[in-house]
Amino acid sequence: MLKKTFIIITVLLTVSCTGVGVSALSADEISAVSAVLYYPDGDEVLFEKNSRESRSMASTTKMMTSLLALEKCTPHLETRITGGMVNVEGTSSGLRENDIITLRDLVYCMMLESGNDAANAVALTLSDSFESFALLMNKRAEEIGMKDTSFVTPSGLDADDHYTTAYDMALLAAECIRNREFVHISTQKKHTVYFGESEKTVTLYNHNKLLQSYEGCTGIKTGFTKKSGRCLVSSAERNGVTLVAVTLYASDDWNDHEKMLDYGFERIKNLKADTSFPICSVCVTGGTENSVGIESDELTLHVTDDSKNIERKIYLNKFLYAPVAKGEIIGFAEYVQGEKIIGRTLLRADRTIEKKREEKFSDRLKSLVDRW
């Protein structure tokens, strides 16, 4: 069990990434009015174009509505569709009044077919009005750090004071892909919805072409209105690196995203961390040995600069009480680049140290008699 006090050892590691430098991505190469490429694990913007400019975001809004549906309620909860839910313009997932459907399937309807009816159904299931649901949306946005966003509608239909920025949508996407259920749903190319005990079924098809055309794509959401233009939020994962791309009001969004994601994956280098600790050990009290060495698992670091100094901070227990088991956690190490922690690994005892056997009085007396 880890103590609350540690010995802290800081080591400066100099690392170099070899390879051809990556050419900068020009804003002129991206058709979108606003765009951003975001690296969530490093909290780093790799590319941006008017990323803090306020714009409407169409059906990418449904990312927030879907996230709330998956976070706030049991996904298997069934709801009965009302006339007020389906009385909406724009895209529809085929819901009809008195249909019975689960919240999870409503999320499928939003994320695959972009159903405005499904977004309304979620809003009126989780709240008593669209206005009160917008309060939930904005509260969650504030928690995520979306400082320049205002939600009014659950579907993304245009409304006064319904706006965001490309950067804020990247933060939302990063939060969404931390939810495993959200990722599972947004990566499905099709899904069949069953309505309660009725015989009605509807097959939904995902409109995100990147799921088929871009290696490692993990979602997320398309959107379009005349005011918003074509909007797209995407995520992709390769070699343990996850990136998020956002475009608002784009004429060539599919190519925009492929360009940005390719650029990001070329920029991020994979480095094998130094996980050797030959000069480090921890004192052991009451053991057959006075100290124990440390070991850790291999660790891959992701850095975005061609060469950069990395600090390794080692946090170790000041001492341990015997017995100590091989593999027992005795500390951890952090790898820090600038002000960012880019990696962390647990430190474990490299061998077993048994508790020192206490010599009985009769044994000591016999030893004295034998020597005499």
pLDDT at position 1 is 42
Q: If we measure between CA atoms, which residue out of 235, 252, 223, 245 comes closest to residue 57?
A: 223
Residues of the chain above pLDDT 70, percent: 89
CB 278 within 8 A of CB 314: no
**What are residue 100's DSSP bridge partners?**
80
The radius of gyration of the chain from alpha carbons, rounded to an integer in Å, stands at 28
Q: What is the pTM of this model?
A: 0.82
Specify the fold of 6-17+272-349: Peptidoglycan synthesis regulatory factor (PBP3), Domain 2 (2.60.410)
Domains 6-17+272-349 and 53-211 share a fold: no
User: What tokens appear for 257 in the block?
Assistant: 């995203």
User: What tokens appear for 137 in the block?
Assistant: 């949306």
Q: What's the CATH number of domain 53-211, 1.10.580.10, 3.40.30.10, 3.40.710.10, 3.40.50.11540?
A: 3.40.710.10
Q: ∠ CA 269-35-92 to the nearest 5 degrees?
A: 115
pLDDT at position 23 is 80
Digit-coded pLDDT (tens) for 79-115: 999 999 998 988 888 899 999 999 999 999 999 999 9
Residue 181 has pLDDT above 50, yes or no: yes
CA dist 101 and 99 (Å) reads: 6
Q: ∠ CA 52-54-59 to the nearest 5 degrees?
A: 110
Question: DSSP state, 25?
Answer: P
What's the mean pLDDT when you consider all of the chain? Answer: 90
Residue 271 parent element (H or E): strand 269-272
Residue partners of 150: CB distance under 8 A and separation at least 6: 138, 161, 162, 163, 164
pLDDT at position 39 is 95
Identify which has the larger pLDDT, 27 or 307.
27
Q: Domain residues of the chain, as ranges?
A: 6-17+272-349, 53-211
What 3-state DSSP class applies to 372?
A: coil
Digit-coded pLDDT (tens) for 71-89: 987 878 899 999 999 989 8
Identify which has the larger pLDDT, 214 or 194.
214
Q: What is the DSSP string of 202-260?
A: EEEE---THHHHSTTEEEEEEEEETTTEEEEEEEEEETTEEEEEEEEEESSHHHHHHHH
